[in-house]
């Protein structure tokens, strides 16, 4: 029986990591089918024992092993050369060159994961203890924790509830005399509004790090994201559309920044000497196994993204006439889309007051893997108390009272988002269109679920 991911897997993690066993559909029904069936027929809710509306949704397992992956990894295994010490990592070198070419970057530095990619990027830009860096509150925690790892202060900027990305209108009010830059996120692969953001950042002489963890293949006005700002970072964690299990990369077009990044990711090495170190730095290197696997994954990414884009169009068509559920706005400036998640906005008023989480439970039962995404803003995370951050930064740093923040854009997004993993868009078009059937069925029968 085809497995289904249930809401518990997505509620706190935004669909980013499915780290629990996925129950079979039969198991899920055993858990929820405790109420009597009210009527027979194809329109009966799956939660009440009826048939799935999305039986045709043939979501592939992810990650999957592409052609050539086994051969690449076996080559590393038999080579007795499993890591990069300095310039002896042919698979990592190859991946850096190919990814830089794919994302139109002059330089790419492969690292162990997306979190350390952000840390390396911020060190490349010389972020110092006590500096302030603007970050969105709707993102994975690494976007902000990378800032605190350097002794700097994250200052949260509200998001646009239509795009989930940093709201340009909120940037100016967040800037202080200690602000040095911003880490912006392309949430779910949907790019930031560069036209509005770049002039604002230039006016205040602020750098831009693009957190493109979700955005492999995304383009803005024909230019791949990652090098539109000063530095870009990507993640290759298991759930991403380009996956090495773990992995990350830093990209830039700036020769000086790239040279510094090479030094910072490799324990301060610079001149080829294994035991000569020019800066206190960590080991952020990618392994040869990751590089070999990612080379095989990259072979398939362009075609997979084309499939996802076609199925996004199909899904948009299916839900266009359904009140209460909507996708992010289409924008001609987005010339290509990469994906990690596909987000929808849910209005309970159009579903007879059905709570968002109950809607997701019903959607799961109908055969559609979905969840809440990031269910609370970062400033509401237990890790972001003022006392916790004050312990990491200089005594004279101005740490906001995070628990007192109220940013309406992100709080709306956290309470209304329904998100699906990118592999849903790798199903057949017929299967993807059946998501619309599931939503319509739940809307018709919503009064039974209130």
Per residue in 38-64, pLDDT (tens digit) is 444 678 999 999 999 999 999 999 999
* 15 pLDDT more than 50: no
Q: Residue 88 — pLDDT band, cuts 50, 70, 90? A: confident
Of 275, 332, 396, 406, which is the active-site residue? 275
Of the candidates 294, 283, 304, the one whose C-alpha atom is nearest the C-alpha of residue 94 is 294
Active site residue 10: no
Active site residue 237: yes
* 31 pLDDT more than 60: no
Active site residue 140: yes
Pick 307 or 6 by higher pLDDT. Answer: 307
Q: What does residue 24 show for φ and ψ, rounded to 5 degrees?
A: -70, 160
* 123 pLDDT more than 80: yes
Structural domains of the chain ordered from first start: 7-62+302-375+412-448 (3.90.1150.10)
Active site residue 275: yes
Active site residue 339: no
Give the whole-angstrom CA distance, residue 233 versus residue 147: 14
Active site residue 240: yes
How many other C-beta atoms lie within 10 A of the C-beta of residue 77? 12
Q: What does residue 25 show for φ and ψ, rounded to 5 degrees?
A: -60, -35
Do the beta carbons of residue 312 and residue 410 sit within 8 Å? Answer: no
Q: For 20-29, 147-156, 265-274, which range has the lowest pLDDT when averaged over its residues?
A: 20-29
> What's the pLDDT at 42?
73
Name the percent of the chain lying above pLDDT 70: 90
The pTM score is 0.91
Of the candidates 312, 381, 300, the one whose C-alpha atom is nearest the C-alpha of residue 67 is 300
> What's the pLDDT at 41?
60
* 226 pLDDT more than 70: yes
Average pLDDT over residues 395-423: 98
Of 84, 123, 285, 358, which is the active-site residue? 285
Active site residue 31: no
State which H helix or E strand residue 198 sits in: helix 194-203
* 324 pLDDT more than 50: yes
> What's the pLDDT at 86?
64
Average pLDDT over residues 346-368: 98
Give the rounded distance of the alpha carbon of 254 from its chain centre. Answer: 25
Q: For 67-71, 166-170, 273-277, which range has the lowest pLDDT when averaged over its residues?
A: 273-277
Active site residue 20: no
* 450 pLDDT more than 90: no
In sequence order, what are the beta bridge partners of 153?
Answer: 132
Distances, alpha carbon 239 to alpha carbons 61, 157, 236, 312, in Å: 11, 26, 8, 18
Give the whole-angstrom CA distance, residue 284 versus residue 266: 6
How many residues are listed for the chain in this entry?
450
Q: Identify the three-state secondary structure at position 159.
A: strand
Q: For 12-16, 67-71, 142-146, 317-321, which range has the lowest pLDDT when averaged over its residues?
A: 12-16
């Amino acid at each position: 029986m085809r497995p289904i991911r249930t809401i518990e897997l997505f509620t706190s993690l935004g669909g980013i990591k499915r780290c629990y066993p996925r129950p079979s559909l039969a198991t899920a029904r055993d858990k929820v089918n405790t109420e009597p069936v009210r009527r027979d027929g194809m329109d009966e809710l799956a939660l009440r024992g009826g048939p799935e509306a999305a039986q045709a949704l043939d979501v592939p397992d992810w990650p999957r092993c592409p052609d050539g992956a086994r051969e690449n990894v076996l080559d590393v295994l038999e080579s007795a050369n499993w890591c990069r010490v300095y310039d002896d990592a042919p698979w990592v070198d190859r991946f850096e060159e190919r990814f830089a070419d794919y994302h139109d970057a002059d330089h790419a530095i492969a690292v162990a994961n997306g979190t350390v990619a952000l840390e390396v990027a911020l060190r490349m830009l010389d972020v110092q203890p006590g500096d302030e860096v603007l970050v969105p509150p709707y993102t994975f925690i690494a976007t902000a924790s990378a800032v605190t790892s350097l002794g700097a202060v994250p200052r949260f900027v509200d998001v646009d509830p239509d795009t989930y990305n940093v709201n340009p209108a909120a940037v100016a009010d967040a800037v202080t005399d200690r602000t040095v830059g911003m880490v912006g996120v392309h949430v779910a692969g949907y790019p930031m509004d560069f036209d509005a953001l770049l002039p604002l950042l230039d006016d205040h002489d602020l750098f831009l790090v693009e957190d493109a963890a979700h955005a492999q293949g995304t383009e803005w006005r024909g230019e791949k994201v990652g090098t539109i700002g000063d530095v870009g970072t990507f993640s290759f964690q298991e759930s991403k559309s380009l996956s090495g299990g773990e992995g990350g990369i830093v990209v830039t077009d700036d020769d000086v920044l790239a040279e510094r990044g090479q030094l910072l990711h490799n324990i301060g090495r610079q001149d080829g000497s294994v035991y000569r170190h020019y800066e206190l730095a960590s080991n952020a290197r990618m392994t040869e196994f990751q590089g070999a696997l990612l080379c095989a994954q990259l072979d398939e990414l362009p075609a997979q993204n084309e499939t996802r884009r076609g199925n996004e169009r199909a899904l948009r068509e299916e839900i266009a006439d359904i009140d209460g559920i909507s996708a992010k706005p289409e924008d001609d400036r987005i010339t290509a889309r990469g994906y990690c998640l596909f987000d929808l906005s849910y209005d309970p008023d159009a579903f007879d007051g059905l709570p968002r989480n109950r809607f997701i439970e019903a959607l799961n039962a109908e055969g559609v893997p979905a969840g809440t995404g990031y269910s609370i803003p970062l400033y509401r995370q237990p890790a972001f108390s003022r006392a916790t951050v004050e312990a990491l930064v200089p005594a004279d740093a101005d740490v906001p009272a995070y628990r007192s923040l109220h940013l309406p854009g992100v709080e709306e997004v956290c309470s209304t988002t329904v998100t699906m993993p990118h592999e849903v868009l790798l199903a057949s078009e017929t299967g993807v269109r059946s998501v619309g059937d599931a939503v319509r069925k739940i809307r018709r029968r919503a009064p039974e679920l209130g």
